[in-house]
Amino acid sequence: MCYRCAQSIAELIDSMGARRSSWPGETSISTIGNYMTHYTKLAIDRAEDLRFGTAPQPVSTRRGMIIGGGTVYPELNFTLPSIEIKKENWPEIRNHYQQIISSALQRAAELDCPGVVIEFETLPPMTEHPEWGLEIAQTLLDSMEKAHATHGLKSVLRMTPNDNREFVRPPQLRSGYHLERMLQLFETSAAAGAELLSIESVGGKELHDQALVECDISQVIFALCILGARDMEFLWSKLHEIALRHRVYCAGDTACGFGNTAMVLAEQKIITRAFATVVRAVTAVRSLVAYECGAVGPGKDCGYENVILKAITGCPMAMEGKSAACAHLSSMGNIAAAACDTWSNESVQNIRLLSAMAPTVSMEQLIYDCRLMNQATHESKDSALTLQRWMIASDAALDPQAFILTPENSIALAKAIVGADSRYHAGQAVALEAIRLMKKAHEAGKLKIAPRELPWLDRVEKTVTDLPEDEDEFISDMMETVDASKYNPAEYGLKT
Amino acid sequence: MCYRCAQSIAELIDSMGARRSSWPGETSISTIGNYMTHYTKLAIDRAEDLRFGTAPQPVSTRRGMIIGGGTVYPELNFTLPSIEIKKENWPEIRNHYQQIISSALQRAAELDCPGVVIEFETLPPMTEHPEWGLEIAQTLLDSMEKAHATHGLKSVLRMTPNDNREFVRPPQLRSGYHLERMLQLFETSAAAGAELLSIESVGGKELHDQALVECDISQVIFALCILGARDMEFLWSKLHEIALRHRVYCAGDTACGFGNTAMVLAEQKIITRAFATVVRAVTAVRSLVAYECGAVGPGKDCGYENVILKAITGCPMAMEGKSAACAHLSSMGNIAAAACDTWSNESVQNIRLLSAMAPTVSMEQLIYDCRLMNQATHESKDSALTLQRWMIASDAALDPQAFILTPENSIALAKAIVGADSRYHAGQAVALEAIRLMKKAHEAGKLKIAPRELPWLDRVEKTVTDLPEDEDEFISDMMETVDASKYNPAEYGLKT
Amino acid sequence: MSKIESLKQSVINGKRKEVEPLVNELLAEGMNPKKIVEEGLVPAMAVVGERYKNNEIFVPEMLVAARAMKTALAILEPLLVKAGIKPKYKVIIATVEGDLHDIGKNLVAMMLRGADMDVIDLGVNVPADKFVEAIGQHSPQLIALSALLTTTMPAMKNTIDAVRRSPGKNIKIMIGGAPITQQFANEIGADGYSQDAASAVDTALKLLN
Amino acid sequence: MSKIESLKQSVINGKRKEVEPLVNELLAEGMNPKKIVEEGLVPAMAVVGERYKNNEIFVPEMLVAARAMKTALAILEPLLVKAGIKPKYKVIIATVEGDLHDIGKNLVAMMLRGADMDVIDLGVNVPADKFVEAIGQHSPQLIALSALLTTTMPAMKNTIDAVRRSPGKNIKIMIGGAPITQQFANEIGADGYSQDAASAVDTALKLLN
Ligand SMILES: [Zn+2]
Ligand SMILES: [Zn+2]
Ligand SMILES: [Zn+2]
């Protein structure tokens, strides 16, 4: 499957309605299943159209939630407290999930919530043993069905298996034990009723970690735009087939292990915020591949780059900010909501807080956040934009990453991506655009960048500008530079 | 000290500036120290003036925070995880507080927070051993001073000792071991630099608990407006003297053990929401006494009745809602912020979440909530009112307690209180007004009340209407009815 | 409707005034006091408990029913004592040392009484040694402990430890309260955990049977 | 500036190319390799570590300094080995079984190396038995374990239990990672806990001295 799919085919797909809110008949699907969308223009090119709750390509679920159709829904995530995942503990583990879902849905019903996305992000052993992951998914689905029958509460399950392919080092990506089991969990849970398929795929991460702590932008671009993107193309084509088979949706990937790792390292002052910001911009090139391969959203919560992807694709997006502080601290607590379609807590352990178990607490917080946004939208588009204006003003001037993710700047970054003729060039262009935006704002006094961070901007800019024009030259340069013991080029279809 | 202090004296006090943002010279204080304010009119009588961040009588702290002066500040609360409070554990306990305060302030500085209120609500043994409470207060104050010196972060300490007087049963209120130690902790921590004094006083609670589970409104009014109010008069006059001595502020009391107990029981479906709503309205009569005795705010966070008190007194108020879900679930997640001046998390244990320790997580959430409000206020009064409109619309129609606490309805309730000639009559009047508001709204389809709750409204209304006109008659009726073994009338200055 | 059925309905509906004559009539007709309790009062409270669990009624309505039951018991108890009949189970309940919260404890006590258990309520802020003393005195089959503060959870553990070292070490112990979890119950060696007052009777019966 | 001082500055500033000639000159002047390490390299890395802790520099700058140090060591190590001089302390570090996170572990390894410790990095997803085997082989004075998932915290306990049952049972163990707390360290019998990579060297030295 080649990247530069002819634009005519892409347009054909568009005209056939491949990116739509519900699946058309099977015939048209199967004919388009083998082609990729190559985005050459933006689905949303005015900042005022890039706002929460509304997406040009909403997604309709079986119970009638319309994600991106005007209402922001809470999206709840959760994980186990400290417990070993093994057979002996299984009854206790199942009880945890049972208790999490029933309490959280109970609270959602009490608070008259219009609908809920439940994300089940498995733990590695639950993907390694797909029957375990499926059993929990089934537990969740049963409770969701019951809450619908009892209280009329709408809900939909997002299934996010682990990408365990990195358990082999260097990662074995295109075949083998871990890939097979992961695909099996996707397949069986889609069959069971998980309507949204997601993953935090790891292709390229084996080189990206090191690139981060060295603030090495060349290696970042290699890891994200060459390696990661190629792996996503492989993986998401497989997921697309599964989704078609079970008439569910490919929802989206996230560069969590890349962009969020950079963000958290910056919060911990290990690397500069400015560099983490450039990394975020580049991750959009990689995360976009899921949509090129047929994903329709809602994009996965922890992808702060999702707002850029929403501008490009028009698909609804999950986002997370202040109410995900239980999972990670962030400099984008409010602004992250500016264009969200579902609003997530990212993750929280099932532990007891003074009021209730932590997932129930998150559910309540998310619901109130969503109510506020939906009230504004309900009033008018202008009201929604007013609330969005405050969300943006809250954070944008204080942090470079928040700044580049305003709707206006996200559109500028999105343009840099769709204007490029390859992912490699898109990575360069979006990195330079992010740097340009930061520098301009800093000079205009609109953005606070710490003095000790400023030299990094110039350094990174120079490195990107000096990269070779030719992609093959870049690849062979990088293959000479990077630690060859850490990855296997053949797993990315690269010749050694 | 009598309740019906002559209005002329009250006005004299007003004209002397007794309720102001910073202490005048000592002479004027000592002359007014012995009189009580009797509120006969509202400080805020238009709904549009009852909004977040702005109070007619702002409070200025030593480091230059102006609470009620246009900015909503986060107010952080915290408590220990499961640990026995005893000498052997003291180093670990002190470490907890040390770690809580330094991490939370660090995060506040990183997020450029304009100022923070830290509430230290002690645990019972720390009031019983005032030197323990003082040591922790000092630990907090030291860190706050350090954060101010290092990062320029403004902060102020609210000191909330425990009301341990109920450890004796029936409670010994006006003398004895527990009173002495509590006052000692107030005195020493005020001397050490705690600028805001608060308490959750318990007078009347020994009869109120039973009244709640029986939904007995007569006994509720007796416990709150007769017993509780008399005890607060006693207690807050003492606190007023301490505050004068150390030039700090009496900040306010809360009917936590009354109104919030009712609210939580209603959330757990033990009693009806409608009854809990009436209880909330009546608590305002009791909580008001602190201000009558010289408190200037910010009123203590967990008093949802504070919005009524803000209308009456013009003092700034702490409030808590969705970001206090860690401490209690609530049906007022957004609307509680509508008129807040500080925004609190109520309480959270110092336990580890995935991102950071829970108090640091709360700090981040509160800061983002406040940023949003402050952005709106910064834009204009109209913008603040727009955000407030969504906060109100978010919750008011779904829950009776949320409904009666809209700015408009809070003013109606406040009017019922100041229009009455005694606390007993104020209790009756505000209960009936709350019922009237609920019924009217329910009939107009503006408020959802569950069908099985409706009969309770009529029942409670009839009981209140049938109460004797004469206060003495009411008191002697009640003294015959209630469980006499549970309380000691002499501790309330009542003759047996 | 049979008379015993009428009694049951009167208790369910909390019609205290109807209860006294009905009980007296049943006794006059020669019905065994034990049978009146077992076929009239206990099933009535079971219905009330079920309605509460299903969110059909609130606690105040339960309390009214409990009072009606008490009216009946006031007549029946002396007869039961004379006949040597006692409730099947005796329970001691308390809020632990350092903790003053009693609403939850009181609700649980009420519900256990409704299930015809003899409940001895030691009150709040009860130290471990006082607790052990009371066990020695009353020989209960079940102990119920409540704590609402995270910082009094250790007192719960201390109380259980003290019981386990005492002659009453094999008595079943159940715990509850806002900060309590099943995991904590396991950790400190409690036999049962009840998430709320409504399910306390179920937990108790599971432990006792 | 003395030549050893120049070397120190070159390492601090990560000027790798200056390092090689300076080391060679110092050796030519007859300076003891051990002294070059102790008075040039280790103090340089201490300065770098201090600057990082004070938020004056970021990790990439530390890495550049660490590389400069490595360049020096590449010349010095064969001489040190020949003279029988070894780093004072040997450390084994790993991320526990089931956990693939290695950034934090790698940072700690780098910082310990900067403090002139011999660090053996077993990588990620390391089972307890592999760990015990490596201890037998290398005889370290210190063990450092990392976990980033709540669900691999039990694996940390398992690893410590396995070490405590092995001949290396008295070796000091320190742990760290996002979900780890001092309390957890106490619970599972670790000797030390480091809240972040920056304070790992302090924790290590406290345990070793
Ligand atoms: Zn993620
Ligand atoms: Zn409170
Ligand atoms: Zn509080």
Question: How does pLDDT run across C68-121, given as a tens digit for each residue?
Answer: 999 999 999 999 989 888 888 999 999 999 998 888 899 899 889 888 899 999
| Residue A2 CB contacts under 8 Å (≥ 6 apart), including other chains | none
Ligand 1 is an ion; its neighbours by CB within 5 Å are A 256, 302
Percentages of chain A per state (helix, strand, coil), in multiples of 5: 55, 10, 35
pLDDT value of position B5: 37
| The model scores a pTM over 0.80 | yes
Please tell me whether the peptide bond between B125 and the residue prior to it is cis, using omega within 30 degrees of 0: no
Task: Place D198 in a pLDDT band, splitting at 50, 70 and 90.
Answer: confident
pLDDT value of position A7: 37
Higher pLDDT, B495 or B438: B438
- What is the pLDDT averaged over residues D129-150? 92
Q: What is the ipTM of this complex?
A: 0.90
**Between chains, do A214 and D102 touch, taking CB under 8 Å as contact?**
no
| Residue B70 CB contacts under 8 Å (≥ 6 apart), including other chains | B53, B54, B377
pLDDT tens digits, A177-217: 999 999 999 999 999 999 999 999 999 999 999 999 999 99
Is residue A119 within 8 Å of residue A76, measured between CB atoms?
yes
| Residue B306 CB contacts under 8 Å (≥ 6 apart), including other chains | B252, B254, B287, B299, B300, B317, B318, B319, B339, B340
**Between chains, do B124 and C98 touch, taking CB under 8 Å as contact?**
yes
pLDDT surpasses 60 at B33: no
pLDDT surpasses 70 at B30: no
Share of chain D above pLDDT 70, in %: 100
**Between chains, do D153 and A212 touch, taking CB under 8 Å as contact?**
no
Is residue C79 within 8 Å of residue C33, measured between CB atoms?
yes
Q: Which residues in chain D have Cβ-Cβ distances shorter than 8 Å to B352?
A: 179, 181
A160: three-class secondary structure by DSSP? strand
Which one of B390, B399, B406 makes the best mutation probe of the A interface by having the most chain A beta carbons within 10 Å?
Answer: B390
pLDDT tens digits, A336-370: 999 999 999 999 999 999 999 999 999 999 999 99
Helices B407-418 + B423-443 axis angle, to 10: 150
| B354 in D contact zone (CB under 8 Å) | yes
| Sign of torsion over alpha carbons A183, A185, A191, A196 | negative
The alpha carbon of residue C2 and the mean position of all alpha carbons in its chain are separated, in whole angstroms, by: 28
| C150 in A contact zone (CB under 8 Å) | yes
Helix (H) or strand (E) run with residue A75 in it: strand A73-76
pLDDT value of position A279: 98
pLDDT value of position B163: 96
Which one of D55, D95, D99, D100 makes the best mutation probe of the A interface by having the most chain A beta carbons within 10 Å?
Answer: D100
β-pairing, A54-60 with A66-69? Answer: antiparallel
What's the CA dihedral at D1, D5, D8, D9 to 10 degrees? -10
Higher pLDDT, B37 or B182: B182
**Between chains, do B331 and A364 touch, taking CB under 8 Å as contact?**
no
Q: Which two tokens stand for residue A240?
A: 């697309």
Closest residue in B to D196 (Cα) is: B356
pLDDT surpasses 90 at A161: yes
pLDDT surpasses 90 at A170: yes
Average pLDDT, chain D: 91
> Phi then psi for B320, rounded to 5 degrees?
-145, 145
3-state SS of A262-292 is HHHHHHCCCCCHHHHHHHHHHHHHHHHHHHH
- What is the pLDDT averaged over residues C46-50? 91
pLDDT value of position A21: 35
pLDDT value of position A481: 94
Q: Which residues in chain A have Cβ-Cβ distances shorter than 8 Å to C181?
A: 352
pLDDT value of position B35: 62
Q: How far is the CA of B303 from the centre of ligand 2 (A)?
A: 7
Q: Which two tokens stand for residue C190?
A: 């409690």
- What is the pLDDT averaged over residues A274-284? 97
CA-atom Rg of chain B in angstroms: 21
| Residue D204 CB contacts under 8 Å (≥ 6 apart), including other chains | D89, D91, D112, D115, D117, D142, D144, D174, D192, D194
Is residue A67 within 8 Å of residue A319, measured between CB atoms?
no
Average pLDDT, chain A: 92
pLDDT tens digits, A233-255: 999 999 999 999 999 999 999 99
Please name which of B477, B490, B494, B485 lies closest in space to residue B221, comparing C-alpha atoms: B477
pLDDT surpasses 90 at A10: no
Average pLDDT, chain B: 92
Q: Which letter does DSSP use for residue B225 in this model?
A: I
Lowest-pLDDT range of B6-15, B327-336, B458-467: B6-15
pLDDT tens digits, B177-226: 999 999 999 999 999 999 999 999 999 999 999 999 999 999 999 999 99
**Cβ count within 10 A of residue B131:** 11
pLDDT tens digits, D164-179: 999 989 999 999 998 8
Token pair 């630990």 is found at B139
Tell me how far apart the alpha carbons of residues A199 and A176 are, in angstroms, rounded to a whole number: 18
Give me the helices (H) in A171-213, please: 177-192, 205-213
pLDDT value of position A35: 61
pLDDT surpasses 80 at A387: yes
| Residue A11 CB contacts under 8 Å (≥ 6 apart), including other chains | none
- What is the pLDDT averaged over residues B448-462? 92
Token pair 């040190």 is found at D80
Q: Which two tokens stand for residue D23?
A: 């080391």
Tell me how far apart the alpha carbons of residues B185 and B135 are, in angstroms, rounded to a whole number: 10
Read off the amino acid at residue D35: K
**Between chains, do D103 and A265 touch, taking CB under 8 Å as contact?**
yes
pLDDT value of position A133: 98
Q: Which two tokens stand for residue A237?
A: 């084509």
Which one of B205, B213, B216 makes the best mutation probe of the C interface by having the most chain C beta carbons within 10 Å?
Answer: B213
- What is the pLDDT averaged over residues A85-92? 94
What's the CA dihedral at C75, C79, C81, C84 to 10 degrees? -150
